[in-house]
């Protein structure tokens, strides 16, 4: 094990992984994948393409496209996921896991977020798949928001926990679940109360950095919009405490979700924040602000693989305390561009290697 080395200028940690990314496909994939591959050894790749990644063949083909899009010197392993639909075949899902093609299954409640139209309409329809996953130890990754239009958008995660997640955990007591990109104190508390072995949560750098005011700061801010949407300040503070606690049930998942500028700055702007160009740097800044730099390695490099039952990375990453500026735009797709989270702002930790 590499003990964390940190002084006021240098931070050396075991190479981190990102347990939740959207790498997209085609020209967008080629534009963004290098940012993730530079910072992380492995990443759990979300399957919400159009059409979604449903089968082993889909995942193998997508994995090959990701590998082909990597910069030449990259050392990066994509971990693929299967998009759960009402009519998913338990056999296909289980074989994908057993053959090492799928690392996990992603459940989007239908119509919760970007490209979730094929998602699950009713949990009753996927019970056989969940039972099979429970039997073989295959993790279920949840977009934890109810779609009920009667529920206020800021309450949809907390209501999901109560209405859907708690009964699901009781029904499938052996099922390993990751509640993705948590945004509320309720979620953090619920994960801790569950004991840390079969329920975990990823936390994004943006939910540790902004609260919902950022969406309206001086005007409408489409690049601060993602789902689940940022909540009140008290929730951001609870997420910071959870991440910085080093508790094994919390780990790094950026939910970096690039959309072209034109698709964000639109009448109906897409949900998703592109944070890959500054991800580990931002986490380091947050942990430093929390006085918890010594816990960054557990959150970024140990808790994720331990939960998934994968080996921890052997190499190290070095961050240096040196101001640098987040790129203001990343070119993508036939003259288009993607705007990174905190574009043009100065961060205190720079990734050296
Ligand atoms: C993600 C996307 O754009 O694919 N958007 C987002 O706001 N996070 C989907 C998701 O993870 O919800
Ligand atoms: Zn996501």
Residue 347 falls inside a structural domain: no
Write out the chain's pLDDT in tens, 353 residues: 454 666 679 999 999 999 999 999 999 999 999 999 999 999 999 999 999 999 999 999 999 999 999 999 999 999 999 999 999 999 999 999 999 999 999 999 999 888 889 999 999 999 999 999 999 999 999 999 999 999 999 999 999 999 999 999 999 999 999 999 999 999 999 999 998 789 999 999 999 999 999 999 999 999 999 999 999 999 999 999 999 999 999 999 999 999 999 999 999 999 999 999 999 999 999 999 999 999 999 999 999 999 999 999 999 999 999 999 999 999 997 779 999 999 999 999 999 99
Smallest CA separation from ligand 1 atom 5, residue = 272
Q: Mark whether 148 is an active-site residue.
A: no
CB 255 within 8 A of CB 225: no
> Across the strands, what pairs with 179?
142, 201
Residue 169 falls inside a structural domain: yes
The answer, yes or no, to whether any atom of ligand 1 lies below 6 A from the CB of 271, is yes
- Which domain, by its residues, includes 286? 16-311
Residue 339 falls inside a structural domain: no
Residue 283 falls inside a structural domain: yes
Question: Rounded to an integer, what distance in angstroms lies between the CA atom of residue 303 and that of residue 90?
Answer: 28
The answer, yes or no, to whether any atom of ligand 1 lies below 6 A from the CB of 22, is yes
- CA 332 to centroid of ligand 1, rounded, Å: 18
The answer, yes or no, to whether any atom of ligand 1 lies below 6 A from the CB of 229, is no
- Pairing between β-strand 336-338 and β-strand 102-107 as defined by DSSP bridges: unpaired
From 141, 271, 273, 275, give the residue whose CB has the most ligand 1 atoms within 8 Å, as the site to mutate.
271
- Report the alpha-carbon angle 17-23-27, nearest 5: 140
pTM over 0.95: yes
Q: Which residue from 17, 29, 23, 101 is spatially nearest to 69, judged by alpha carbons?
A: 29
Those residues whose C-beta lies under 8 Å from the C-beta of residue 263, and which sit 6 or more positions away, are 269, 270
Instruction: Count up the domains in the chain and report the number.
Output: 1
Residue 152 falls inside a structural domain: yes
SS3 257: coil
Residue 3 falls inside a structural domain: no
CA distances from residue 230 to 5, 101, 312, 326 in whole angstroms, order as listed: 33, 33, 31, 21
Q: Which residue from 249, 264, 237, 241 is spatially nearest to 341, judged by alpha carbons?
A: 264
Residue 28 falls inside a structural domain: yes
Q: Which residue from 189, 214, 224, 188 is spatially nearest to 203, judged by alpha carbons?
A: 188
Per-residue confidence (pLDDT) for residue 84, from 0 to 100: 98
- Report the alpha-carbon angle 110-221-273, nearest 5: 50
Set 25, 255, 267, 323: catalytic member: 255
Per-residue confidence (pLDDT) for residue 1, from 0 to 100: 44
The answer, yes or no, to whether any atom of ligand 1 lies below 6 A from the CB of 254, is no
CATH assignment of the domain containing 109: 3.20.20.140
- CA 277 to centroid of ligand 2, rounded, Å: 16
- CA 20 to centroid of ligand 2, rounded, Å: 6
Residue 10 falls inside a structural domain: no
Smallest CA separation from ligand 1 atom 11, residue = 255
The answer, yes or no, to whether any atom of ligand 1 lies below 6 A from the CB of 114, is yes
Question: Rounded to an integer, what distance in angstroms lies between the CA atom of residue 346 and that of residue 61?
Answer: 38
């Amino acid at each position: 094990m590499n003990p964390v080395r940190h002084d006021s200028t240098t931070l050396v940690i075991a190479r981190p992984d990102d347990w939740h990314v959207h790498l997209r496909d085609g020209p967008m994939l080629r534009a963004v994948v290098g940012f993730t591959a530079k910072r992380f050894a492995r990443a759990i790749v979300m399957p919400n393409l159009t059409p979604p990644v449903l089968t082993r063949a889909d995942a193998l083909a997508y994995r090959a496209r990701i590998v082909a899009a990597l910069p030449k010197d990259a050392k990066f392993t994509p971990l693929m996921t299967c998009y759960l639909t009402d009519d998913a075949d338990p056999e296909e899902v289980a074989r994908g896991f057993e053959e090492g093609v799928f690392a996990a299954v992603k459940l989007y409640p239908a119509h919760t977020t970007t490209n979730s139209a094929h998602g699950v309409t009713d949990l009753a329809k996927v019970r056989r798949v969940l039972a099979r996953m429970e039997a073989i130890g295959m993790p279920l990754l949840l977009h934890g928001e109810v779609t009920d239009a009667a529920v206020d958008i800021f309450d949809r995660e907390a209501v999901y926990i109560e209405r859907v997640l708690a009964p699901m955990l009781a029904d499938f007591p052996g099922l390993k679940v990751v509640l993705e990109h948590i945004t509320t104190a309720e979620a953090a508390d619920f994960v801790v109360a569950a004991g840390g072995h079969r329920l975990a949560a990823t936390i994004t750098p943006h939910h540790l950095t902004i609260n919902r005011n950022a969406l309206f700061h001086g005007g409408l801010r489409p690049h601060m919009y993602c789902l689940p949407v940022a909540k009140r300040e008290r929730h951001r503070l609870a997420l910071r405490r959870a991440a910085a606690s080093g508790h094994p049930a919390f780990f790094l998942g950026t939910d970096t979700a690039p959309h072209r500028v034109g698709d964000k700055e639109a009448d109906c702007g897409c949900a998703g924040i592109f944070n890959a160009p500054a991800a580990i740097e931002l986490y380091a800044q947050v942990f430093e602000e929390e006085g918890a730099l010594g816990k960054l390695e557990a959150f970024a490099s140990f808790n994720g693989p331990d939960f998934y039952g994968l080996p921890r990375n052997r190499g190290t990453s070095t961050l240096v305390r040196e101001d640098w500026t987040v790129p203001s735009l990343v070119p993508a797709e036939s003259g288009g561009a993607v705007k990174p989270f905190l574009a043009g702002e100065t961060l205190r930790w720079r990734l050296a290697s």
